[in-house]
Amino acid sequence: MTDTTSTTSTTTTAPSAATKGDGLARAYRPSDVEGAIYERWLAADVFAPDGAGSRARADAESFTIIQPPPNITGSLHLGHAQRAAVEDLMIRHARMTGRAALFLPGLDHASIAAQFVLDRILAEEGESRQSLGRERYLERMQEFVTTTREVILGQERRLGASLDWDRLRYTMDDGSAKAVRVAFKTLYDRELAYRSEALVNWCPGCRTSVSDLEVISSPETGTLWSIRYHLIDDATGEPLPDETVTVATTRPETILGDTAVAVHPDDDRYRTIVGRRVRIPFVERDVPVIADDVVDPAFGTGAVKITPAHDHDDHETGKRHGLPMPTILDDAAAIAATGTAYDGLDRYVARDAILADLAARGDLAGEQPHELVLGRCDRSNDVVEPRLKTQWFIRTGPLAAAALAATRSGAVRIVPDRFDKTWEHWLTNIRDWNVSRQLWWGHRIPAWYCPDGHVTVSSEIDGPAGCDVCGRPAAELRQDPDIFDTWFSSGLWPFSTLGWPDETADLRRFYPTSVLETGWEIIFFWVARMVMLGIELTGRPPFHTISLSGLIRDPLGKKMSKTKGNVVDPLAVMEEAGADALRFALIHGATAGMDQRFGPQKLELARNFANKLWNAARFVLGARPAELAADAPRTTAPESDLGPTERWIRSRAAATVEAVDRGLAEYQFGEITRALHDGIWSEFCDWGIELAKVRLADETVPPAQRAATWSTLVDALDTYLRLLHPVMPFVTEAIWAEVPRRPGDPELLIVASWPASEGRDTTSDARIGEIVDTIVALRNARAQASIPAGAWLETHLAPPADAFDAFEELAPAIGRLARARPLSLHRQAAGLARPAGALEVVLPAGDIEATIVPPAASDDTIGRDRARLERELVEAEGHLGAARARLGNASFTEKAPPAVVAGARRREAELSDQVARLRERLGR
RNA sequence: GGGCGAUUGGCUCAGUGGUUAGAGCACGCGGUUCACAUCCGCGGGGUCACUGGUUCGAAUCCAGUAUCGCCCACCA
């Protein structure tokens, strides 16, 4: 069914190519068409803005989306699929508007996440990072990502993402490596990157430091132990058995690193001991009692042990008081270098041992359950330990200020805007960013140290020639063994992918990019850092709009996770329902910044919709009037041949264009699918096609008018296909191949032009509205009276006086759609035939009445009909009462806008008329 | 401790001041009409969480309350 003869040219416009003639298959099977169509797009080279098949003008404004690069270690989940669907939607729309649309694909090496995954695989094989060593470990990683890479790229193709594959990038490729080096060197030269010893978050499981963002606060119940420290006798220098100060701690093992006890300066209980010394047990170290505001006298005993190397508060206190800062934990969080018997014990084993020993000494004063907040590693869930390390940091203050300025000035807009507050809060409280990781898989930090301790940062691929300070040759320099936080290379992504730091043509043309679309959960990890680094390094924010989507949850609202087993595989879904259905379902549920639940019902809605479109297209294409030659080029019907039906169809399509445009402009993606679903199904299929059918089948309608009806249907189908293409690219492209084209239309829908909304009449023909209401009312009366659905019944209809001609013209349609035959029209309701037992129909608006004559009026039928009229009367009277109350309120008529008041009066008139007519019909 | 969001029919969700609050699913009744049973027709079903306020008019704006969820936060 798809055209396979011409896959290279997309600009052929010859009329002979107007139809393919193969027709659409009777049944719609997505899997039959989707793969072949993606191949056609690839062959036609339409994805790249500068591809052979592109219809973007050379000077066209660019529209760029750099794909948020999925982690190379996994496969795509529904969240990826949703983002890709939304991004592809925007790109396809931009492409159809003639812009130079670039959708650049990429992959992220995902340093720590990848190591975590590989480490687990290695563990199953009885190997480990340590057993392999750095070189073999990295080789193994390369092997691993080579296979996963293909899985991901295949999934994106299957989804129909129109990514420019020739521009595929990877955060570990040479271009990214260069960008990382140059970015770091630039930041260093500007004193925005510095090396310093600081307390960092250490994950003992991952054996690396992690950033503040990667530490997850976890409320847990622990124990608060009270421990007695003995004061020192100034005379003897020995601890006093009976003079103690009691401190409280949740981590008793850290007493090995204590270098002070702190109390509040105004705390009378401890005023006398400030300045004295206490002995720390086991390490037998004498440390001072200091006074500091940080201590809350009301908490615990009011005396706090200070461990400057392993606690953030204590570290600050230690700095203020010039305290020593002994480190007591090694990389695995075992006790180390304390000179005690605990050395070599795991932190928790040591904790128990220390508690037992304290108790034995009589210095454990008490314990109580305690609610505390533990920091756990985002990746491994290990409890993170604060630890002193010399690391590289990015000075975020100035960068954050610039990022804030960008959102405040409107240069960068966040959708939805309520995230502005979150953005502001985070960026105004941001701390310097630790970018050193003690991992192997990633970009090595381009800093070299000479034996004298001088630091040389180089952006050269081979490193520096020598020490920047003392000139020692490179051979004597040692490169920092650490790598960068994976988000450092991610932060450069919008420009590193376009060639930065080189002034490439792509960078000039496509940077700054247009929209960043991603989940709100990585707004700090990634989005904020791209904005900060983009502004600092390129002078411009990397995109003008941040569109935030939500999480895809399971039907119960639970987060999807492998351990819960509720993960939905996009590939399986696409096999079952098609990529189009998946895309539609995901976009349909998208409300900016909100999570959505995803289940089979949503997918079914989408699949059914694709099927509906397919069948509507089959009908339209098959309904070509015989007078029109099969290969005749498509023409626009002259205005004079259009009737109410045609004008209505046209106006509804135009209204859908407007609605879709609005959704796009406001990043309200769910509104787009809603407008299309309604427009195509409830308007075009339910009424447009049904009304047109009657005219097309009517031999008495002049051929020119029948041709006009058909071409109106084709025009509308054409418009809907274009509008729907960004959402459901495959089915629309497949149908497009069969739709006769206008001169200038390309062979492939993907590069067809977007429907213009200007100059279209979106005001629907009011007459059709009345006729639709009439048909519905007739059907209703029949169904309520239990008339068999298929029965053709004699019907008498009195249309509104001023609409008689329109009703007369559409009488065949009314007759068919309401199964009214014979149907007679009467100029006045008074003249309506009212045989005994006829069903009475009274429309609320427009002075429309009808009677339906059942073949044999039973009491039952009559009773049901009267009951329906009674219900309608009660309802109408209720509304009438409300309308009169409103109009009776003087302040309403005085203060409400005249149009609203006029509307209320009209409504009141209609209702009172309807009530009167209903009463009359009921014989009251 | 701060901040954000949600609360609308049985379910999932639209709907940011104006007539009668919508959709899909589910439900009930009826349909082999020549595009579609992945369909067609008709119907039932909602005090828009609660309280107060602003307004001629509130699902919608404001204040507060409740429940659920999320984010941020160094108190031992």
pLDDT per residue as tens digits for the range A296-341: 888 888 899 999 999 999 999 999 999 999 999 999 999 999 999 9
Q: What is the pTM of this model?
A: 0.93
Tell me, in Å, how far CA of A202 is from C1' of B63? 46
Q: Look up residue A756 and give its amino acid.
A: A
Supply the pLDDT for residue A7.
Answer: 35
Position A158 pLDDT exceeds 50: yes
Asked if A603 contacts A584 with a C-beta cutoff of 8 angstroms, the reply is no
Query: Considering chain A, what is the average pLDDT of its residues?
Result: 91
Tokens read off for A342: 């605990």
From the alpha carbon of A581, which nucleotide's C1' atom is closest?
Answer: B38
Q: What is the DSSP letter of A830?
A: G
Q: How far is CA A195 from CA A456, A560, A756, A797, A917, in A?
A: 11, 40, 57, 88, 88
Q: What percent of chain A has pLDDT over 70?
A: 97
- SS3 state of residue A915: helix
Q: Which residue is nearest to nucleotide B43 (CA to C1')?
A: A784
Nucleotides on chain B that have an atom closer than 7 A to a protein CB are: 3-6, 12-15, 18-20, 23-25, 29-33, 35-36, 38-43, 55-57, 71-76
Strands of the sheet containing A447-449, edge to edge, are A455-457, A447-449, A478-479
Residue listed under structure tokens 């509507």: A616
Asked if A444 contacts A483 with a C-beta cutoff of 8 angstroms, the reply is yes
pLDDT classification of A22: cutoffs 50, 70, 90: low
- Determine which of A396-405, A588-597, A691-700, A719-728 has the lowest per-residue pLDDT on average: A588-597
Asked if A620 contacts A717 with a C-beta cutoff of 8 angstroms, the reply is yes
CA distance A460 to A404: 32
CA distance A427 to A399: 9
CA distance A749 to A726: 10
pLDDT classification of A858: cutoffs 50, 70, 90: confident
Average pLDDT estimate for A208-224? 90
Q: How far is CA A348 from CA A280, A332, A351, in A?
A: 19, 12, 5
Position A6 pLDDT exceeds 60: no
CA distance A623 to A714: 10
Give the model confidence (pLDDT) of A813-854 as tens digits: 999 999 998 999 999 888 888 888 889 998 877 778 999 998
- List the alpha helices (DSSP H) in A698-765: 703-724, 729-736
Tokens read off for A716: 């509308």
pLDDT classification of A3: cutoffs 50, 70, 90: very low
- Determine which of A174-183, A646-655, A765-774 has the lowest per-residue pLDDT on average: A765-774
Supply the pLDDT for residue A15.
Answer: 33
CA distance A477 to A481: 12
From the alpha carbon of A684, which nucleotide's C1' atom is closest?
Answer: B35
Average pLDDT estimate for A592-600? 87
Position A19 pLDDT exceeds 70: no
What's phi and psi for A181, nearest 5 deg? -65, -45
Position A225 pLDDT exceeds 90: yes
Tell me, in Å, how far CA of A217 is from C1' of B75? 14
Q: What is the largest CA-CA distance in chain A?
A: 124
Average pLDDT estimate for A798-815? 91
From the alpha carbon of A879, which nucleotide's C1' atom is closest?
Answer: B20
Give the model confidence (pLDDT) of A97-146 as tens digits: 999 999 999 999 999 999 999 999 999 999 999 999 999 999 999 999 99
For CA atoms A40, A42, A46, A50, the dihedral sign is negative
Give the model confidence (pLDDT) of A717-746 as tens digits: 999 999 999 999 999 999 999 999 998 999
Tell me the ipTM for this assembly.
Answer: 0.95
Tell me, in Å, how far CA of A84 is from C1' of B9? 34
pLDDT classification of A437: cutoffs 50, 70, 90: very high
Q: Which residue is nearest to nucleotide B25 (CA to C1')?
A: A601
Tell me, in Å, how far CA of A879 is from C1' of B67? 35
Q: Which residue is nearest to nucleotide B17 (CA to C1')?
A: A896
Q: Look up residue A900 and give its amino acid.
A: V
Position A4 pLDDT exceeds 60: no
Position A18 pLDDT exceeds 90: no
Give the model confidence (pLDDT) of A503-552 as tens digits: 999 999 999 999 999 988 899 999 999 999 999 999 999 999 999 988 89
CA distance A403 to A411: 10
Tell me, in Å, how far CA of A418 is from C1' of B61? 17
